[in-house]
Structures are given as C-alpha cells and as structure tokens.
Amino acid sequence: MEGENHLKISEFIFLGLSDQPEKERFLFLGFLLMYLITGLGNMLIILDIRTDSHLHTPMYFFLTNLSLVDICFTSTTIPKMLVNYVSGNKAILYISCLAQVFFFIWFGVVDSVLLTIMAYDHSMAICAPLHYSMVLTPKVCVLLVALCWFGTCADALTHTVLLTQLSFCGHTEIPHFFCDLNVVIRLACSDNFINDLVMYTMAGLTAVIPFIVILISYIQIFVAVLRIPSAQGKWKVFSMCGSHVTVVCLFYGTIIGVYFKPTSAHTAQQDTASAIMYTVVTPMLNPFIYSLRNNDMKGALRMLFSRKSGLSL
C-alpha cells in the first residue's frame, strides 16, 4: 500500500507568495529584476577578477567561486518561480522537485563552506602573513575549492536519496515557492524519522561547524587587530574583512532563523521571508558589498569599464 501511495504522486503544487493576480505580476517583475541583477552583478565580479592580474590572489580566487555559486544558487529556484507566474501553473513534477532539493542543498552548502574558507584566508593573511604564501599556494587553493564543490555533493545526494524513500498520499501542496527539504519532509505520510535525523545531523556539520570556524577565525583576527598600533592599520584590516562579515551575517542570520528555531515558533510567512533573504536578496547584494567596500575591486572595475569604453571608441 505504501508503494502505491508513493506512485500516486506525480507533482507538487506551490502555494507561492500570493494567489492574487495583481500581486503576482508585481512579484514577477520584482523577482525577475533581482535575478537579473544577481546574474549580471556576479558575472561582472568574475570577469573583473579574471581580467585584472592584480586580483589573481587566493582571496579573489575564492570570491570568484562564491560569485559563481551565487548564480547557481539563485538559478535553482527563481527561474521556475518566474515560469510558474507566467504560465499560471504552479505545479512542479515530482522528479523536478527532487532535482531542486538536490541542487538547492548542494549550492547552499558550497556557499557555506566557501565563506568558511574565505574566513580562514583572511585569518592567515592577517595573523600569519609570513606563512600565508607558503600555506595557501595555488595548488592548495584549487584543492580546497575542488573539495568544496565535489565533497558537498555527497551531502545533497544523501538527502535526495532519502527523500525518494518517503511516501506522499495524493497531490500535495507546498506552502513555499520552491522545494525546501524541510517543508517537503513535513508533507510525507510515511515515517520521516531517518530523514529528520540526517537533516539535522548534516545541518550541524555543514552549517553550524563552518559558522563556529568563522567565529574562531574572526576572534583571532580581532586579537591581531588589537596589537596593531596605528589606526590606519586597523582600518585597513576592517576594510578587508568588512565585506565578508556582512555577507556572513546576512547568510547565516537568515538560515539560523529558518532552520534552527523551535518548530512551534515557525510561521509560513516568516519562513518564506527568511528564505527570500538568503536565496535571493543575499546573492544579489554580494556583488555590491564586495565591490563598494573593497578599494581593489573598485579600482579594477574602473579599469575594466575604461578599457571597454576605449575599445568601443
């Protein structure tokens, strides 16, 4: 009987952010604009770093990957939502929902681990500058990023495979705008104890531990800053780390608000608002945060645009 119930599910229905046509048109334009800004902004960051030899350092190599994963992260959810608004059909196929869960977790965890690697990079550059170039060699940087991308794939695959073992009775409505793992598990009509156990265990490994590592890195940086005698030197460190701290606060703040508070404190509206923050708003703001607060990036952008202007003339 359980297998029959499982086979009845061919699609899920998104309840989305609104069921009013007027609001949906406004939401479509808003999310389309944010998606375009996210894609163009992050591609500009990647192009800027690739074309300026002064930015061929470990810190900007990691930033390139962060911009790439931000594009992938938003592309997992926003295009499908935009298509649903245009077509008026809010359904998603069961297999497509599984794929969305897989890629959403994968790119989200890659984002988390990359932010951790960048915190370690800042810590090494400030606390142990003499050993920096010997520790973070180009080979080591490539290896760290490769492990980040391919190692986290196992986490996403584990959750997705376990999700296929659940049974769903009839057509199911998802009170969200994408297939969030936590929400989909709650809709199952079969026992989901293993799924919950693995979800919270892996969340601890892929979110809590990286967050703790970031905190330790910045405690070390703070201690090192206290030893700097000049105000100019302290300001240089704060300028270097300010962008990363801002992104970390935005990313982890909203994730902790959604996944690490008591179930009784959850409301659909709050969870959706928080999800929009870390799935759409944060990736969109990252290019502005890193370009406007970083003098090297601003200088490289000016050179890039002046070079383009010269070529057009």
- Give CA–CA dist 104/303, Å, rounded: 35
**pLDDT given at position 257:** 65
**Residue 91 phi/psi, 5° resolution?**
-85, 150
- The pLDDT assigned to 48 comes to 85
Top CATH class, 2-308: mainly alpha
pLDDT at 244: 85
Give pLDDT, residue 120. Answer: 94
| CA dist., res. 221 & res. 234, Å (int) | 11
Q: How far is CA 4 from CA 167, 168, 191, 250, 294, in A?
A: 9, 10, 16, 43, 57
Confidence at residue 259, expressed as pLDDT on a 0 to 100 scale: 63
Element (H, E) at 172: strand 172-174
Short-list 190, 24, 1, 188, CA closest to 101: 188
313 residues of the chain, pLDDT tens digit each = 444 444 457 899 998 777 777 788 888 999 999 999 999 999 989 988 888 888 889 999 999 999 999 999 999 999 999 999 888 888 999 999 999 999 999 999 999 999 999 999 999 999 998 899 999 999 999 999 999 999 999 999 999 999 999 988 876 889 889 999 988 998 988 889 999 999 988 888 888 889 899 999 999 998 988 888 887 777 777 777 888 888 888 888 777 766 666 555 556 666 677 778 888 988 998 888 877 666 666 666 667 666 655 555 4
DSSP output for 58-82: HHHHHHHHHHHHHHHHHHHHHHHHH
pLDDT of residue 104: 95
Q: What is the CB neighbour count within 10 angstroms for residue 266? A: 16
Neighbours of 311 (CB within 10 A): 7
Q: What is the predicted pLDDT for the residue at 136? A: 93
